[in-house]
Each structure stands twice: as C-alpha cells, then as structure tokens.
Chain A
C-alpha cells in the first residue's frame, strides 16, 4: 500500500484516500494540431518500467490535484509536488537520483 503526501493540504495518508489519474506532464494538443500529435496526446503513454511521474487527486481529502514521482517496479514513492508545473522540480529529481544513481530524465 502506497503512503502518499498531499502537497496541497499537507496530509500524508495511504493510497485509498487518493486516486491516480495517469501520466503527468503530457503536452496538450488541441484543435489544429497534427493527427499524430493529437493521437500521441490522447493515447500514447510512456508506461515506463521504473520511475514514473503521474497525476493524483486527493479524492477523499482536500480534493485537489498534485503530482507524484513513483517507481512502477518497487512501488517506492520519491515525493509529491505541485501540479502547477510542466516538469518535475529539481528536489524531486534529486530525491530520485539519490535512490537511483543510474536513472536519467528522458
């Protein structure tokens, strides 16, 4: 069972209080974009075996969205951060590198 911290209200709780909503930092392509860009935005996912950045919502708490960095193999949670960003912040990247020295952001 995952223990997750909500950066919005400060509560740390187990995963049943939250809901996962898939890959974070997707670039949105709307009207006028190319077919493959729109397809990629809607359906293509990195689905990594390892470090994964994803969107979560504090469903049974403050109700707000945030992001989590997590390992899909070990289920280790590296940290959570604000959803108001287009890329993971430096302290999260550092927390991942501390645990996964060989890992690189791609």
Chain B
C-alpha cells in the first residue's frame, strides 16, 4: 500500500500522473520473508511491481521470534512503543531491541483514535512535547519512507461559552510565547472555514475558536506500520502475540520478562501499554496514579467532501473530521467509570451525536457506520507520565489519556532519550514524582475534555 500511496503523494505535484486510490489495501504482506535490506518504496517500485503482477513486494517487517536477551525490551507495539524503539535506534544507535505485543501491532488505541494532530496546549511542558511531535509528523512520511498521509488541514477548537473564549485567548497568547502557531479567530472566520457549521446554535452559539493551521490528521495505522517497518529494518524484533505474564527482578533491578513465548532477558525495560499500564505496574510491584476508562469513536457512512478541517467542540463533548474515504469521524467523551471493555456505553454515543447535531445540523441525515472503543489511561492532572519507576531499569510511558495519537513521534523521541541517557529535557516535567511534589501539569482545565 505504501508504495501506491507514495505514488499518490507524488501525483499531487504531477497532475498528469493521475490519481491513485486511498483505498489501496496493504500489499506489503505479500511475498517472502527474509532478512534482506528493506526495499525502498517509491514510484519506481510501484511501476516495477506493476510490471510483474506485484509479486516482488517484501514483508514490511519480519515475523520475529524472541531471542534469549536484548539490551532493551519495549512492552507494547502501538505507536508510542514502536516510536520509542525507532528513536532508540535512530538517535542512540541502540538496535538490540525487542518490541513485545500481546495482540497485534497497532491494534490498541493507535488503531482506535480519531487521528487528530495538534499542539495548542496551555502549559509549557505540554506544548514542548506536543509541538516536537507535530513537527516530526511533518516529515514522517519521508523519514520512514512510508506514507502516513499526514494532512495538516488545520484544527479549530470551538469556543461556545464565554469561559472558553477567555480560555482559548489565553492559550493563544501562551502558544505565541511557546512558538506554537495558533490564533484566536472569530465566528465569521469559523463559518468561512467550516461552511457546514451552524454558528447561531440554539444552546451553544459559536463565539470563536482556537485555530491551529498546521494541525490536522494522519493515517493512524500507517504510523504504526511505518515505525514497525523501520524498526525491523534496523534489526529490531517486533514480536506479536507475545503477552508479558511477569516481570523478573533481582536486587531491585529488572532482569527480564516472562511471556507466553518464554522468558526474555533485558537490561532495560520500557512499558508503553496505555490502558493496561496499571496491570503491568502491578506485576512489577508499584502503583500508578492512573485509571482506565473506555473512550469511544464512530464513523458515518462515506459522503462527498464537506469539511476540510478538524473541528473540536469541547463544551458539548464532540469532535469531528472527514476522512479521505469520506466518512465523518466522530469522537466523544469517556465513560464515567473504570473499565477495560474496548466498547463503551451506548448512551455516550447518543449524547455525542445529539450534541454535534446542534452545531452541525447536516449530520442528522447521516447513517452511522460503525462504533468502537479504546481503553485510555487517565492521570490525575490529565497529563502523561514519562518517567523512571521505583524499579531500576524500568521506564514507563503512559497516561496519554484521551489524546495520545498526536504525541506518538514526540513521545517516542523523548522516551528514547530518557531510556538511553537517563533523562530528557522533554520528559523532566512528566516524572512520576510530580504527584508527590504537587507539581502538576494541569491540562484538564486548560484543554477541556477532548485532548
């Protein structure tokens, strides 16, 4: 698929080359496995393969089996785990790495989010890591030689109460100081950017919005696949269907993990498992300030292009974008109670859709195609944890809550630095000790529900 999508990428500057489909299915799983050097995806590769009925594509990543020992084991082959491994190899030359995944690659929240990318946060530490992340998304397709379809179409966070207007103006000022390009725009400009919006809304008229022109979306699966391919190419082992059942320690230091594929030793261990972080921490013998809840999303039937930006309406708990396939992608609020169901309560879907229809009346005519949930790990201050742990050699990256997708590359970059060097300027503020010290990064008020 990536080859074809890469072709699409080039086709934009060469109209005569025609238009390839975003629907292209992955061809990358075909053909033989092997340890040979990764073949570069390019327009020439597509042309070459077209001549021989696409029989020459290699696997995107090796189907690895665990070795006895690795320098670093990352638990969790979602976006954050794979990105961590990738930057360990790319930035620090640590390539004796295994990434263990109990399910399938990118099958957790990486494949369940609404793919929104933005960095318009209020607090400095958040803005730093999210803006690092957003800037890495800009060149990710080129860096990974894998089209992740980053689409900087712009993100509006609607202000629908006076409090939100003040809040977002404050954020816009903070962003100006942080070097994050955002601006507060009035309702007329919102209407101009989003013709389908009803700015007079019966309950919550649109009073303006926080506009980040270089925010947008990306193909979430491709992010995981692109990183996995690049990791595998560096000699790392991406091991799927490998569930960690115990964490082995000696003298307060981690020595390895037990899995359903046997014991694997390691010098350093990174836990990057989102909703199941508490479960793993329990195995390692420490607790986390985290609760897991279900967050849901849904998509409508595909329709013709009607909205080319991302809109987040935090007052009414809904966010909306249109995928390249034409589906309206809708995200809502979390369930109110702890759960691990990856399903979520139906009345939240009803609330979300009901609220969005007030602002986007045209949605009422759409059929909903499918709905799903993911388990998000929410911390007390709604900010992530990238930290050492009480066990020597174990590092944890979790607590991204309802907004982890946008942070994948930045999170991986920072986590890799933390694991390789023991500290990172990007993660300093996100340590576990902030809860003892009362040094919160309070985005829960600043960002509203959806982030």
Contact = CB atoms under 8 A, between A and B. Distances in A.
A13 to B, nearest CB: 13
Interface in A10-52: 15-16, 19-20, 22-23, 35-36, 39-40, 42-49, 52
A42 B291 contact: no
B287 A70 contact: no
Contacts of B379: 43
Contacts, number: 66
Interface string B254-297: 00000000000000000000001011000000011111100000
Contact of A1 (B276, B288, B339, B347): B347
A22 B345 contact: no
Contacts of B346: 1
A85 interface: no
Nearest to A20: B337
Contact of A19 (B276, B336, B347): B336
9 contacts: A45-B289, A46-B278, A47-B291, A49-B279, A49-B292, A49-B340, A72-B292, A72-B340, A73-B341
Interface in B408-451: 435-436
Contacts of B290: 45, 47
Given A42-B380, A73-B340, 19 more contacts: A1-B345, A1-B346, A2-B345, A23-B291, A39-B435, A42-B435, A43-B380, A44-B288, A44-B289, A45-B278, A45-B290, A47-B288, A47-B290, A48-B338, A49-B279, A49-B340, A72-B340, A74-B341, A75-B341
A46 B290 CA distance: 8
B345 A52 contact: no
B382 to A, nearest CB: 12
A22 B279 contact: no
Given A49-B340, A72-B340, A43 B276 contact: no
Interface string A59-71: 0000000000010
Query: Which of the listed residues B338, B345, B346 has the most CB atoms from chain A within 10 Å of its own CB?
Result: B338
Nearest to A36: B436
Interface of A: 1-2, 15-16, 19-20, 22-23, 35-36, 39-40, 42-49, 52, 54, 70, 72-75
B66 to A, nearest CB: 24
A2 to B, nearest CB: 8
Contact of A54 (B289, B337, B380): B337
A70 B345 CA distance: 15
A43 B347 CA distance: 28
Nearest to A70: B337
A8 B90 CA distance: 60
A72 B380 contact: no
A31 to B, nearest CB: 14
B392 to A, nearest CB: 19
Nearest to B338: A72
A70 to B, nearest CB: 7
A52 B338 contact: yes
8 smallest beta-carbon distances between A and B, as pairs: A43-B289, A20-B337, A47-B278, A20-B336, A39-B436, A43-B380, A44-B287, A43-B435
A47 B341 CA distance: 13
Contacts of A47: 278, 288, 290-292, 338
